[in-house]
Structure 1
Amino acid sequence: MKPGIAALLLATPAAAQPFDPRLPEEALITVTAPAGPGRVFTPVVGLSDEALLDRQPRSVADALRGLPGVSVRTNSRGESVARVRGSDERQTLVFLDGAPLAVPWDGRVDIGLIPAGLIGGLSVRKGAGAIEYGANAVAGIVDLTTRQAGGVAVAQTGPYGLKNLSAAGVMPLGGLSLTLAATHQAQGALPVARLSALPFSQPASDRRLNTNLAATSLFAGLGGTAGALEWRASVLNIDAHRGVAPESDRNPSSARFWRYPDWNLTQAQIALELPIGAATARAVGWRQWFGQEIESYRDASYTTLRGREINDDDTVGGRFTLSHPIGPATLRWSLSGQLSDHHQTDVAIPPGTRPAALLYRQSLASGGVEADVPLGNTRLTLGLGLDRSANPRTGDKPGQPARQAATFSAALALKPADRVSLTVSGGRRNRFSGARELFGEALGRFLPNPALLPEQAWLADAELGWRAGRFTLTLTPFWQRVEGSIGQRIVRTNGANLRQRFNQAPATGIGIDAAMQVPLADGLTLELTGTALDASSAGQPLLQRPAHESMLALDWAPKSGLGEAFDLRAELRRIGPARDLADDGTLARLAPATEFNLRARVPVLRLGKAQVSATAAIDNLTNAVILPQLGLPQPGRSIRIGLIVGG
């Protein structure tokens, strides 16, 4: 496939290239992404397919852990979500081959169900990203690309019924390129780190209650050319069912006991690129079908239903961009839109009768232009756009006015000295409340607030990079202020404490991302990444935002005459203290924690041109209690062994 369509699949005309932490020219540190002539991007960090093999992630959530400025947590619904620089997870959009994966009703997607075996490259862009990403891409973008060449198969197993089976490959088919991938993830339960951290709704067992999972994904992509036109079409299906751990910090009378007997996401998309003289036109179209069923139980026995929520979503969207020179500058025009229908049926038990489904509809549109302006030895990119949201159907809730807001940005790249780079960027981005935030009740947990206003985020950062041979250092101080930021409060209604989202006072975050890579010996590399963050609103800390997160890693991959001999990796992750909202509305402290992880990949034989390697992975070696939020600690020690073929 030509470079042009590969860039298109990353959702920007010259998107971030993934990085291999062992190559000096492609370091695993936060850098300004490679761009077309004159274009300046905001900071980016990523992983190549080789780095993904070394880290042995099962899902995209696993792969993101440890990247500077990126925090991953599992929420009370059992979903794994990413936050960039302390932003809300709904302010971070996830793209697959150029199309957004978020379910519009909720504004996010469970990255714990996106299999790592499908991914050929991963990058995270931070700050005021390109206009092409559209509305709601506020503080960060996770760009995922499916495999573009070669093939790999993984088989792993471990205690508690853990299974991870995946295979992905690319093969020529006449003048076409065919990509196929399949993955199955399963676990009987998650391990418990320490029973004393779970005072309620947890039996005296090392298996976390109600945390089983089974998920199967299938992917097929086909690409080729027709004259000057490049094209690629693909479809992804993820089918899962799972339990959700109960909130074990509180009395069972105020905890939720949920299961997902059915969760299914299907997304079909097509990408096109056509040169027209000196201009280039690109388009991405997508159609997403999503359905899930949530069962709510009365207690931790999970035997008596109290209610059922049935969701069905249908989304269609597209993006068109046109880039062309104008004098010494380059202009990129962008237009995107998305329309989503959400049908929801809430069944109370008793009586158990199924009412008519409620229909919610939301439309998003965004348009704008970017200009790359040469300024001698410096480069400047300016952007201006307009975002709009409307909710023409609101179920049984009050109607909503359409809302719109301008967006703008600037990024300047300098070369102050040899081997030193500086990029300064900033701007404003908008996020419109999702329909679930406006109207959702979450089976009696939330009090709706249809009066929520859009969030407007002001963003600024300055990235300083220094490279000396294979040594690299990057420091990125950043500042962000979100006006109309959405928080949660406790409202006493009819004798019950319900949560309600509201537009709190402006939220401000200030911090620094840092990354350093040091070659210690041939094949031995030291990696240090981290983020320090101070995020608050009206003098109160934002919830579930650790004061710092860092990772120290040693990666040993010596070379032999036949290539890589083996890869051994040790990681130490430190998560700082944070605050969370207790059931009574008071602030509670989340204690800091330290996590140790080990990885090994050892070649054992060759099958033709394919290398077969034995693998081993241990997560949370010391069984540390890590609390991303109250009552829902991360799993205890987890062990996996298996084989990898290819890669």
Structure 2
Amino acid sequence: MPGRLAAGGLVLLAAPVLAGEPDEPEWPAIIVTAPAGESRALPPQVTVPPSLLIDRQPRSAADVLRGVAGVTVRTNSRGETIARIRGADERQTQVFLDGAPLAVPWDGRVDLGLLPAGLLGGVRVVKGAAPIEYGANAVAGVVDFSTRQYGQGNFAHVEAGSLGSGSASLVLAERLGGVDTILAAGGITRDAEPLAGPLPFGQPRGNRRTNTDLDAGSLFAALGGEAGNLAFRASLLHLEARRGIAPEGDRPPEAGPRYWRYPDIALTQATVNAALALDAGATLKVTGWRQWFGQRIGQYASIGYADLEARQQDEDDTIGGRVTLTHPAGPLTLRWAASAQSSTHAQVDTAFPSGPAGARLRFRQNLLSLGLEADAVLAPGVKLTLGGAWDRAETPLTGDKPPQSAFAAGAASAGLGIDLGEGMALTLSGGRRTRFPTARELFGVALGRFALNPDLGPEAAWFADAEWRWQRPGTTVMVNPFVIRSQDTLAQRVLADGRRQRFNLPGGATSYGIDALLSHDLGERVRFELSATALRARADRGSAPFRRLPQRPSYEALAALDWNLPGRFDLRAEVRAVGGAVDVDADGLLVALPAAAEVALRAAVPVARLGENRLFLTMAVDNLTDAQIFPQAGLPLPGRLWRIGLRFD
């Protein structure tokens, strides 16, 4: 498994608040990739404040995103917990950690269920036409995680729960000779996920979901500081895990459910970033990253997970960087951005019981993005941002597959921000983005599950957003209608031999809906929160076997009541509702996914004070009513799970 020491990190300032407008940060120097500015109009965004990272008692980065307006979190058929923005495919949602892409480029996805939540210091979700700093493939939007900063202090938690579940985090922050230092460790474990209700197949035992064990651990270190006009931060993350993958519970053995396990997963990511203040108000930012990733996948003959049929060994090596120069130019502020990334994937497939190891195949994909944005203040309280970019993808190494032509596409965006006074603001934004197929989509067969499509091409989307926001002490209201027009959308079809094949829809698809958010203090100690999304996603008539796009719930909503009496207790109750959706079964037929709702309870009680910090007893129940929720056919969300622990902050 790859894993090496290297320097890494990031810098920058500014903190958007819950509805997305700059405000005083809750800690010094939050890291963001695309900071707001006095003349910059940004697309819709939602920030999860640090207080909510604690109140919701999340175990992983995936838990942090549950309930964010416009974001869907689910576990896919590969066992990965992924995020989708406004119903788009997870590969259209780019994930960043401290300014560097976190997803493994070969697949374009990352398992957010493996990253401990205790490591995170801030989370921002950008929707629609993302700023040019994020580079190529940010079609639906961006999930931008930042790790904890020195100013956020020390943190620790440990908890245990039902079915052998547990998690722990430790973050130590110190200033050594003017250098801010962060050391962190974390882990997540479980014997199995709880099962809320019966499944037709793939479930030989009662309340424990088959093959859903997990053990994951991580180490993190960061150094940061300032030297004159230069600010810098370097960080290194190493993560190791092993886990099972639940078989699809809606299909019998002859329909080919996945009997897979991941005995080894390892990811090491180093990031280095610097910001240099130049003359005449200019700023130069440079970010570099290096990622090593490796995994083994075992395919078994039956649900007994005893007879190994095949094994896939993957190794990935990625290097990339970004340069952004911002400077005034008369009445304008110009922002030049260039990013490049090269990723090499090596793969060995072995058949069992007696087959020899296959050839070591090497694939490579290079991404390049060049862009320019211009900001202008048109009138007091009115700001305009226009941007354009050129993106390119090429695959110079294609293993044993035929060569693939390079792809190139343009991108454009526009944003108009209007201060309406009395705490109200309106932002109109839109643009066009392109996502290139990943190397896995072009060349991967997933141990025989997929048939390749040599004609697979990029997918593109046009966006339009209107975000109205009203903020006053104790109250935030946000309403954001949107429309997305997709072209050449990547979809899957089931072939006569049972394999799946990716293809571009010959026409297009249209999605429209509304994101909404309300946060209101009912009193000095009680706060009500509501975030919701309504969505309608349809393919053009005649362009797909079914017009309704699969795995897109018609609505998602989270309502929460938080009662906090400092020094005594903090109680939180949440209700998350999910609307009906559809999916495609093993025969390629459309099946209904019913609407459902789940209840979660949280409690924290201070038990001791240690200097400036406190020790809390924490208690939580997830899915209190043991509701059965299907984000995907045959793959339900976990049932009821209780947790109890200690937190120090």
In the alignment, what sits opposite 2:110?
109
In the alignment, what sits opposite 1:487?
491
Q: Structure 1 625/25 Cα, relative in aligned 2: closer, same or farther at 3 Å?
A: farther
Q: After superposition, give the CA deviation of every residue in 1:123-159 in whole Å (9 maximum; x if it has no partner).
A: 1011101011000011111111111120110000011
In the alignment, what sits opposite 1:432?
436
1:541 aligns with 2:554: no
**Separation of aligned partners in 1, 2:434 and 2:309:** 38
SS at match of 2:302: coil
**Separation of aligned partners in 1, 2:283 and 2:35:** 19
1:48 aligns with 2:43: no
In the alignment, what sits opposite 2:375?
372
Question: Gaps (5+ residues) in structure 1?
Answer: 1-7, 28-32
Q: Please, which moves more after superposition, 632-641 or 514-523?
A: 514-523
For 1:460, the aligned partner's letter is A
In the alignment, what sits opposite 1:510?
512
Q: Please, which moves more after superposition, 38-47 or 223-232?
A: 223-232
**Separation of aligned partners in 1, 2:48 and 2:446:** 36
**Separation of aligned partners in 1, 2:267 and 2:182:** 19
1:176 aligns with 2:183: no
Task: State how 1:379-390 maps to structure 2 within 5 Å.
Answer: 379-390=383-394
Given candidates 578, 599, 612, the residue that maps to 2:581 is: 578
Given candidates 284, 289, 306, the residue that maps to 1:286 is: 289
SS at match of 1:521: coil
For 2:232, the aligned partner's letter is W
1:60–1:114: 8 Å Cα contact kept in structure 2? yes
1:189 aligns with 2:188: no
User: How far 1:415 sits from its partner (Å)?
Assistant: 2.2
1:642 aligns with 2:641: no
1:263 aligns with 2:270: no
Q: Structure 1 90/74 Cα, relative in aligned 2: closer, same or farther at 3 Å?
A: same
User: How far 1:403 sits from its partner (Å)?
Assistant: 1.1
User: How far 1:204 sits from its partner (Å)?
Assistant: 3.4
In the alignment, what sits opposite 1:199?
200
Q: Please, which moves more after superposition, 410-419 or 305-314?
A: 410-419
Task: State how 1:602-641 maps to structure 2 within 5 Å.
Answer: 602-641=605-644
1:18–1:121: 8 Å Cα contact kept in structure 2? no
Q: Structure 1 620/234 Cα, relative in aligned 2: closer, same or farther at 3 Å?
A: same
1:14–1:36: 8 Å Cα contact kept in structure 2? no
1:18–1:123: 8 Å Cα contact kept in structure 2? no
SS at match of 2:236: strand
User: How far 1:467 sits from its partner (Å)?
Assistant: 2.7
In the alignment, what sits opposite 2:319?
316
The normalised TM-score by structure 2 is: 0.93
Given candidates 523, 531, 534, the residue that maps to 1:532 is: 534
1:409 aligns with 2:416: no
2:243–2:263: 8 Å Cα contact kept in structure 1? yes
Q: Structure 1 354/24 Cα, relative in aligned 2: closer, same or farther at 3 Å?
A: closer
**Separation of aligned partners in 2, 1:435 and 1:186:** 31
For 2:289, the aligned partner's letter is W
In the alignment, what sits opposite 1:467?
471
SS at match of 2:163: coil
User: How far 1:51 sits from its partner (Å)?
Assistant: 1.1
User: How far 1:452 sits from its partner (Å)?
Assistant: 1.0
Q: Structure 1 438/552 Cα, relative in aligned 2: closer, same or farther at 3 Å?
A: same
2:300–2:309: 8 Å Cα contact kept in structure 1? yes
User: How far 1:234 sits from its partner (Å)?
Assistant: 0.8
**Separation of aligned partners in 2, 1:491 and 1:128:** 35
**Separation of aligned partners in 2, 1:558 and 1:336:** 48
SS at match of 1:112: helix
Q: After superposition, give the CA deviation of every residue in 1:38-74 in whole Å (9 maximum; x if it has no partner).
A: 0111111121222111000001111100010010010
In the alignment, what sits opposite 1:587?
590
**Separation of aligned partners in 2, 1:225 and 1:532:** 45
1:393 aligns with 2:397: yes
For 1:161, the aligned partner's letter is G
Task: State how 1:10-89 maps to structure 2 within 5 Å.
Answer: 16-17=15-16, 19=18, 35-89=36-90
For 1:580, the aligned partner's letter is D
In the alignment, what sits opposite 2:145?
144
**Separation of aligned partners in 2, 1:226 and 1:14:** 16
Q: Structure 1 223/544 Cα, relative in aligned 2: closer, same or farther at 3 Å?
A: same
**Separation of aligned partners in 2, 1:595 and 1:82:** 19
Identical aligned residues as a percent = 52
**Separation of aligned partners in 2, 1:595 and 1:102:** 29
User: How far 1:209 sits from its partner (Å)?
Assistant: 1.1
2:346–2:361: 8 Å Cα contact kept in structure 1? yes
**Separation of aligned partners in 1, 2:329 and 2:479:** 35
1:208–1:245: 8 Å Cα contact kept in structure 2? yes
For 2:509, the aligned partner's letter is A
Q: After superposition, give the CA deviation of every residue in 1:172-227 in whole Å (9 maximum; x if it has no partner).
A: 011111111100111011111012xx111211321111111000000000112233
For 1:558, the aligned partner's letter is L
**Separation of aligned partners in 2, 1:135 and 1:423:** 24
SS at match of 2:456: coil
Q: Structure 1 269/469 Cα, relative in aligned 2: closer, same or farther at 3 Å?
A: closer
User: How far 1:14 sits from its partner (Å)?
Assistant: 6.2
In the alignment, what sits opposite 1:457?
461
In the alignment, what sits opposite 2:525?
523
For 1:330, the aligned partner's letter is T
User: How far 1:19 sits from its partner (Å)?
Assistant: 4.3
Paired residues, number: 622
Q: After superposition, give the CA deviation of every residue in 1:234-276 in whole Å (9 maximum; x if it has no partner).
A: 1101100011111110011211100000000000110011112
1:568 aligns with 2:571: yes
2:194–2:209: 8 Å Cα contact kept in structure 1? yes
1:210 aligns with 2:211: yes
Q: Structure 1 599/20 Cα, relative in aligned 2: closer, same or farther at 3 Å?
A: farther
**Separation of aligned partners in 2, 1:146 and 1:356:** 39
User: How far 1:352 sits from its partner (Å)?
Assistant: 2.8
User: How far 1:348 sits from its partner (Å)?
Assistant: 1.3
1:16–1:44: 8 Å Cα contact kept in structure 2? no
SS at match of 2:498: strand
Task: State how 1:228-377 maps to structure 2 within 5 Å.
Answer: 228-253=229-254, 254-278=256-280, 279-377=282-380
User: How far 1:417 sits from its partner (Å)?
Assistant: 4.2
For 2:134, the aligned partner's letter is Y
1:18–1:122: 8 Å Cα contact kept in structure 2? no
For 1:526, the aligned partner's letter is F
For 1:109, the aligned partner's letter is V
SS at match of 1:605: strand
User: How far 1:15 sits from its partner (Å)?
Assistant: 5.8
Q: Structure 1 176/26 Cα, relative in aligned 2: closer, same or farther at 3 Å?
A: closer
In the alignment, what sits opposite 2:601?
598
**Separation of aligned partners in 1, 2:193 and 2:104:** 26
**Separation of aligned partners in 2, 1:14 and 1:153:** 25
Task: State how 1:493-504 maps to structure 2 within 5 Å.
Answer: 496-504=497-505
Q: Structure 1 20/398 Cα, relative in aligned 2: closer, same or farther at 3 Å?
A: closer
User: How far 1:20 sits from its partner (Å)?
Assistant: 10
1:24–1:471: 8 Å Cα contact kept in structure 2? no
**Separation of aligned partners in 2, 1:200 and 1:580:** 17
1:201–1:300: 8 Å Cα contact kept in structure 2? yes
In the alignment, what sits opposite 2:120?
119
For 1:318, the aligned partner's letter is G
Across the aligned residues of Structure 1 and Structure 2, the Cα RMSD in angstroms comes to 1.8
Q: Structure 1 136/273 Cα, relative in aligned 2: closer, same or farther at 3 Å?
A: same
**Separation of aligned partners in 2, 1:20 and 1:157:** 34
User: How far 1:486 sits from its partner (Å)?
Assistant: 0.3
2:15–2:24: 8 Å Cα contact kept in structure 1? no
